[in-house]
């Protein structure tokens, strides 16, 4: 995909009933790493994120806080959700809010089309609803606790809170018409839903048969009005899923829509079903292409449980970034957790990896190489002589790392991508230990060899900085500038990523400059 092809990637839009925790930041970072990678590789990239502001959950939270829902949403977006993007260094291209006029208008058009084409009918809904999930529930999705506060009541298995029983006149989407087409889609496009565990669950769910979906509510009015019946508002998930289309011109700018659509969707596995069943069925009904992919990543676990605000295990992203910085946050979660699987967060693990991998492994390597260039060559990158076997080995490792990382990122295996890049760190550290440039520097007779060794490590760092820039943009940019590459080669983000493994790009004769520790020692004890 190095031909400038479209790479449109989305995060879920987040509920504004509460402030973000590290689970939300995790999705943001993963999407940002993928989009920075593709953007730097020359693909026509677009990263969308935003907020989900309608529905009963937000209405109730706002009311409980004595505010109108719109005012509540405005406050949360300004004070919490947009600042999150700064906190973890997200380079998004757009931020959509479901209360944006552009979104509300396009949702109306979409609904009207489905209505005109006979995909919607009026009916009566009678059943269970969990406001926490904003989802209609079946009996087997509920528990009946034998003890505790809610003993004898029906509670949602996810939120452990009582559900509500609804009896309303609703409009329904004929989703049951699309079961077979969805199964055909999963079959013919096996990577449509990933990872495999999520795909299997989705297929099993659809095979059981789909019901029609209630897509409107009439008992409250915080939502987008149904165009032909303004006494109803659109069901919050139906409204929310459409953000992915309305943000890129659906209903308004067909040219833009054709350029961006279809999308790659990153979601937590808890909401994969909405994205891999309801959403493609909606698109099929409207005659639009289905997404390229729905990737359901795993949960961050704290103390073995899914981290969540409602269970009071939520950790604010700034608790981590204030001490370790945004790069360390990004690196840690992308490296330590196999993307697609659950992963446990612990302060000990974060501190240990920070120290071993970022500070000692990468940071020290960069500082040592720059310091040796300053000490032995007055800061000038020397001309390399003929490479020996060890030098050639470095070149091979760099080339392989670049190829393997790109292939892993293409598969959304972010952890493998980072690990592939890290082979350069290990190789360069081993190379320096073996070549002992400080010994070579003692003898004029080995001066030429010293030049080759330091030119080789500097060029290795050049490739490393470029390949790390989607993951740890700040540190990579600092190293880039210290290498003198900024002046010689231009901005790091303008370096074609798929060419990063090509040897010999950093010109001899340019000057390095002082590099302070990229990942300084953290003295303060970290609270656990």
Q: Which residues bind ligand MSP (CB under 6 A)?
A: 12-15, 23-24, 26-27, 52, 240-241, 267-268, 270-271, 299-300, 306-308
* Catalytic residue list contains 115: no
Least distance in angstroms from the C-beta of 260 to ligand MSP: 16
Least distance in angstroms from the C-beta of 306 to ligand MSP: 5
Residue 93 or 270: the one with the smaller Cβ distance to ligand MSP is: 270
* Catalytic residue list contains 275: no
Active-site residue among 54, 103, 133, 269?
A: 133
Alpha-carbon gap, residue 486 to 474, rounded angstroms: 14
Tell me the backbone φ, ψ of residue 386, rounded to 5 degrees.
Answer: -65, 130
Alpha-carbon gap, residue 225 to 239, rounded angstroms: 10
Least distance in angstroms from the C-beta of 482 to ligand MSP: 35
Residue 123 pairs in a beta bridge with: 170
* Catalytic residue list contains 156: yes
Active-site residue among 130, 232, 293, 297?
A: 130
Residue 312 or 494: the one with the smaller Cβ distance to ligand MSP is: 312
Alpha-carbon gap, residue 310 to 527, rounded angstroms: 22
Residue 20 or 417: the one with the smaller Cβ distance to ligand MSP is: 20
Active-site residue among 21, 119, 265, 269?
A: 21
Long-range contacts (CB closer than 8 Å, 24 or more residues apart) made by 159-164: 159/130, 159/132, 159/133, 159/310, 161/130, 161/132, 161/310, 163/128, 163/129, 163/130, 163/137, 164/128, 164/129, 164/130, 164/131
Distances (CA, A) of 198 to 82, 274, 289, 341: 30, 12, 21, 10
Residue nearest to ligand MSP (CB): 23
Least distance in angstroms from the C-beta of 371 to ligand MSP: 40
366 Cβ contact partners less than 8 Å away, ≥ 6 residues apart: 461, 479, 482, 515, 518
CB 492 within 8 A of CB 469: yes
* Catalytic residue list contains 157: no
* Catalytic residue list contains 113: no
Distances (CA, A) of 503 to 59, 76, 396: 57, 48, 9
Residue 291 or 437: the one with the smaller Cβ distance to ligand MSP is: 291
Q: What SS3 class is residue 46?
A: strand
Least distance in angstroms from the C-beta of 460 to ligand MSP: 34
Alpha-carbon gap, residue 251 to 244, rounded angstroms: 12
Residue 29 or 455: the one with the smaller Cβ distance to ligand MSP is: 29
Residue 306 or 411: the one with the smaller Cβ distance to ligand MSP is: 306
**Angle subtended by helix axes 69-76 and 56-64, to nearest 10:** 90
Residue 302 pairs in a beta bridge with: 305
* Catalytic residue list contains 133: yes
Residue 161 or 306: the one with the smaller Cβ distance to ligand MSP is: 306
Least distance in angstroms from the C-beta of 393 to ligand MSP: 39
Least distance in angstroms from the C-beta of 268 to ligand MSP: 3
Residue among 361, 409, 109, 395 nearest 234 (CA) = 109
Distances (CA, A) of 313 to 301, 321, 381: 9, 18, 50
Active-site residue among 159, 169, 225, 474?
A: 159
Active-site residue among 24, 38, 54, 265?
A: 24
Least distance in angstroms from the C-beta of 299 to ligand MSP: 4
Alpha-carbon gap, residue 413 to 195, rounded angstroms: 10
Active-site residue among 156, 275, 297, 451?
A: 156
Please report where in the chains the tokens 């392989």 appear, as a residue.
400
Residue 12 or 473: the one with the smaller Cβ distance to ligand MSP is: 12
Looking at the annotation, which residues are catalytic? Answer: 21, 24, 130, 133, 156, 159, 306, 309
């Amino acid at each position: 995909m190095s031909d400038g092809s479209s790479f449109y990637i989305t995060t879920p839009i987040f509920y504004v009933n509460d402030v973000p925790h590290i689970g939300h930041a995790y999705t943001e970072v993963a999407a940002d790493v993928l989009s920075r990678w593709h953007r730097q590789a020359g693909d026509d990239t677009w990263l969308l994120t935003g907020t989900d502001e309608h529905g009963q959950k937000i209405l109730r939270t706002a009311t409980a806080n004595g505010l109108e829902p719109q005012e509540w949403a405005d406050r949360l977006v300004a004070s919490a959700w947009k600042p999150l993007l700064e906190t973890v260094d997200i380079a998004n291209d757009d931020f959509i809010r479901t209360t944006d006029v552009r979104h509300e208008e396009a949702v109306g058009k979409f609904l009207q089309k489905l209505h005109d084409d006979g995909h919607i009918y009026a009916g009566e809904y009678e059943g269970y609803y969990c406001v926490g999930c904003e989802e209609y529930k079946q009996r087997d999705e509920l528990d009946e606790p034998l003890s505790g506060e809610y003993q004898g009541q029906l509670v949602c298995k996810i939120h452990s809170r009582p559900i509500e029983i609804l009896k309303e006149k609703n409009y329904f989407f004929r989703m049951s018409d699309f079961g077979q087409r969805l199964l055909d889609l999963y079959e013919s496009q096996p990577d449509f839903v990933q990872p495999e565990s999520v795909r299997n669950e989705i297929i099993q769910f659809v095979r059981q048969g789909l019901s029609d979906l209630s897509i409107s509510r009439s008992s409250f009015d915080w939502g987008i009005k149904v165009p032909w019946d303004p006494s109803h508002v659109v069901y919050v998930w139906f409204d929310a899923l459409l953000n992915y289309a309305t943000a890129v011109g659906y209903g308004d700018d067909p040219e833009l829509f054709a350029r961006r659509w279809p999308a790659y969707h990153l979601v937590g596995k808890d909401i994969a079903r909405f994205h891999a069943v309801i959403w493609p069925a909606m698109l099929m009904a409207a005659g639009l292409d289905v997404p390229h992919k729905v990737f359901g990543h795993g949960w961050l676990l704290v103390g073995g449980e899914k981290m969540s605000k409602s269970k009071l295990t939520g950790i604010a992203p700034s608790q981590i970034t204030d001490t370790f910085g945004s790069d360390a946050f990004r690196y840690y979660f992308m490296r330590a957790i196999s993307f697609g699987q659950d992963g446990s967060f612990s302060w000990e693990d974060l501190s240990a990896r920070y120290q071993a991998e970022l500070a000692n492994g990468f940071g020290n390597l960069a500082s040592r190489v720059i310091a040796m260039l300053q000490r032995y060559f007055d800061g000038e990158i020397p001309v390399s002589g003929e490479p020996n076997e060890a030098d050639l080995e470095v070149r091979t490792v760099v080339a392989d790392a670049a190829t393997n990382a790109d292939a892993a990122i293409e598969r959304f295996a972010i952890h493998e991508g980072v690990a592939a890049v890290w082979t350069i760190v290990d190789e360069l550290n081993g190379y320096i230990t073996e070549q002992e440039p400080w010994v070579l520097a003692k003898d004029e007779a080995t001066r030429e060899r010293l030049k080759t060794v330091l030119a080789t490590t500097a060029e290795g760092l050049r490739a490393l900085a470029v390949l790390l820039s989607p993951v740890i943009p700040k540190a990579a940019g600092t190293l880039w500038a210290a290498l003198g590459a900024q002046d010689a080669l231009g901005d790091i983000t303008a370096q074609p990523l798929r060419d990063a493994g090509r040897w010999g790009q950093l010109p001899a004769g340019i000057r390095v400059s002082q590099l302070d520790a990229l990942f300084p020692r953290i003295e303060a004890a970290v609270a656990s």
